[in-house]
Amino acid sequence: MPLDGLCHSVALSLPERRRERARSPSTERYHCHARVGPAQFGWLIGLLLTTFVIGTDDFVIAGILPAISADLEVSEGAAGQLVTVFSITYAIACPVLAVAFGRVPRKALLVGGLAAFAVVNFATASAPSFGMLMALRLLAALVAAALSPAAFAIAGRLAPPGRTGRAIGAVAAGLTVSLVVGVPFGSWLSGVAGWGATFVAVGTLACLAVAMTALTLPRIPQAPVVGVTERLRLLRRPPVLLCVLGTMLAACGGLMPYIYMAPITHDLTGVGGRYVGVFIAIVGVSGAVGTVLGGRLTDRWGVDRTLLTAFGGVAAAALALLVVGSIGQGAAPVWLVCLALVLWGVPGWANNPPMSARALHMGGDAATEAVALNTSGLYAGIALAGALGGGAVNTSGGIGVLVAACVAGLITIVVMALSVRRYPSSRHASEAAPAPEKAATP
């Protein structure tokens, strides 16, 4: 779906919003729906650009490792620890910074954070040593950890009733688009002008995001003031923790085949090395489509039904890849593997909008902190996928990775089925999120 059409759909239905106010007048105390018009289009683009910049900055390291290794005279294995440090710092810092900055106005946090992110990336471009580069990557992860959950929470608060899923889907699409566009462009730019130019480009995009959000993001009234102790108590509630567990398991099963794409496709087709870039691009494009689709289905079907459908689709697609593998070692047609990857990529990313919406709902007055904790679960799942997938590929090759992904997918379905049955979301999660009486109940 074109982005302008998506933004237009988010900004639609003023009569629908009036009817919703009549049904739920208390919701307006906590939600600040952006006006219909150009400003609505702008803030959504600004939030998407924010996640695109963060995603590119995170993922592009993999494409410029050889250049960094050669220039700073370290091994590629050592340079790869830049990714590890960023991911671990991000996962740990997300919930901590969300609580620490809970009283900071959302617009000020986003605009100021993006400005700091730009400065850090400009400094990274001229890092004189590997130690300095590592320190700057750690600093970039800290800033990103404060920005990303805030962007999703702002989307949930500004979206008109019944359009929350699409707004969150648009913001989440920034991450998938960074895989398809940002990472390849950054890798190409590194080859043409050096790896420092890649970080200059990221910093420039961050400056553009600063301007976009500063000009178009409306003032967001502060949510009810909740103390740090109360916020932490809200985050310890079982529905929040189950949501985080589901995200971790979903990331483990859904991203394991992506991490080990080369051995999987080699075992399936026998030509994985020559086509691995194509396979990854197919998953990236499918993921972008899935993110938008997940947002639309969240608004149409509700959070819980969309989640279970997406998780079931991931498990079914991994099983389909196993069936393709049964044709014989290296005997599967490339086109058939591409089709299976599309069927996997779409549901694999379609769960992002409903899961973020569920985290917003379950967090109650600590919604931003809940999204941050949920993001930590995502990065923990990525780390778990790397560890379990590594063991599987060492013992059973690419097919073993698919088996492990299937098992993780089935466990995810069981956990989330129990979770949604015990703690169901409302049809439109963000509309119920502000109910402090329910949210604060242990």
What are the pLDDT digits (tens) for 115-161?
999 999 999 998 989 999 999 999 999 999 999 888 888 887 787 77
Q: What is the pTM of this model?
A: 0.70
Per residue in 32-43, pLDDT tens?
Answer: 544 444 445 678
91/97 Cα distance (integer angstroms):
11
197 neighbors 125 (Cβ within 8 angstroms): yes
239/252 Cα distance (integer angstroms):
20
Instruction: Provide the H-helix boundaries in 101-182.
Output: 106-125, 130-158, 164-177
351/168 Cα distance (integer angstroms):
11
* pLDDT for 235: 65
* pLDDT for 436: 36
Q: How many alpha carbons fall within 13 Å on the CB side of residue 179?
A: 22
In DSSP notation, 250-288 reads HHHHHHHHHHTHHHHHHHHHS-HHHHHHHHHHHHHHHHH
Domain with CATH 1.20.1250.20 in the chain: 1-218, 231-427+438-442
* pLDDT for 435: 37
As a whole number, the mean pLDDT across the chain is: 78
313/413 Cα distance (integer angstroms):
10
Residues 6+ apart with CB under 8 A from 293: 169, 346, 350
* pLDDT for 211: 92
* pLDDT for 260: 79
Distance spanning both ends of the chain, measured CA to CA: 40
- Using left for φ > 0, alpha for ψ between -120 and 50, and beta otherwise, residue 302 falls in left
Helix axis angle for 130-158 and 61-72, nearest 10°, is 160
CATH number of 1-218: 1.20.1250.20
* pLDDT for 29: 38
Tokens of 174: 């920034």
Cα-to-chain-centroid distance, residue 344: 17
CATH architecture of 231-427+438-442: Up-down Bundle (1.20)
Nearest residue to 415 (alpha-carbon basis) of 315, 317, 316, 308? 308
Backbone angles phi, psi at 320, to 5 degrees: -65, -40
The ranges of the chain with pLDDT < 70 are: 1-41, 62, 76-77, 221-235, 272-274, 365-366, 426-442
